[in-house]
Homo-oligomer: A and B are copies of this chain.
Amino acid sequence: MPKLFLVTRSEENYIKTIFHLGGSSSTLIATNAIAEQMETKPSSVTDMAKKLADKGIVYYKKYQGVCLTDIGVKKALSIIRKHRLWEVFLVEKLDFTWDEVHEVAEQLEHIKSEKLIDRIDALLEFPKYDPHGDPIPGKDGTFLKQDKQLLSEVPLNKVAVCVGVKDTSPTFLKFLDKNKIALGDTIEVLEKEEFDHSLLIKLANHELSISHQIASNLYVKINY
């Protein structure tokens, strides 16, 4: 009965942000957190919280925060699905680099056409992950949570495979390119420096020392 048909671009951006901040379970996300993430003001968030609550997209408890309703989660997953499929498209079909895709996908994710995104999905042969290693939600709302961990938490001498990035900023991604670290690469932790928590890691053809900040933005999966 709720007419979820009219969701504006701005509303979609709020929905996505709330999802990414963890508002998909019943955890309430603070107004300030949303405002900071979106580079907007808390008062704007409050306004939108009311609007989204009226539409049945979020649950809003005054002074406490918001979380997505079931409808809101569905909507969020649909937007994220579009965002990530477009990112794959840009890389696979148009030779964009992984640091270039996010900005354009931010626009493309708002295109309204179910047929379009389904066909893109098919053209790409139903990819499971986007160029940053993030899982692509299914058309039906399924959402794989992969078991991955930060490289900074991997024990010494363990061999792991790089599967994702936490920070997806162009700066970080280009740093990885420059240092020849890519998704799918095998990484072994050779040393952990006690002083600054930097790591000495071994890649296929080179060894490299990386700061803790780098290591705590790289997701890996340990080989058993």
Contacts and interface: CB of A to CB of B under 8 A. Distances in A.
Interface string A86-110: 0000100111100010011001100
A107 B96 contact: no
Nearest to A100: B115
A78 B96 CA distance: 21
Nearest to A122: B94
A171 interface: no
B115 A111 contact: no
B123 A94 contact: yes
Nearest to A112: B107
A96 B115 contact: yes
Contacts of A120: 94
A6 to B, nearest CB: 15
A146 interface: no
A103 B111 CA distance: 11
Given A93-B123, A94-B120, 8 more contacts: A94-B116, A96-B119, A103-B113, A104-B111, A104-B113, A107-B112, A108-B111, A111-B111
5 nearest CB pairs, A to B: A94-B119, A104-B113, A107-B111, A104-B116, A108-B111
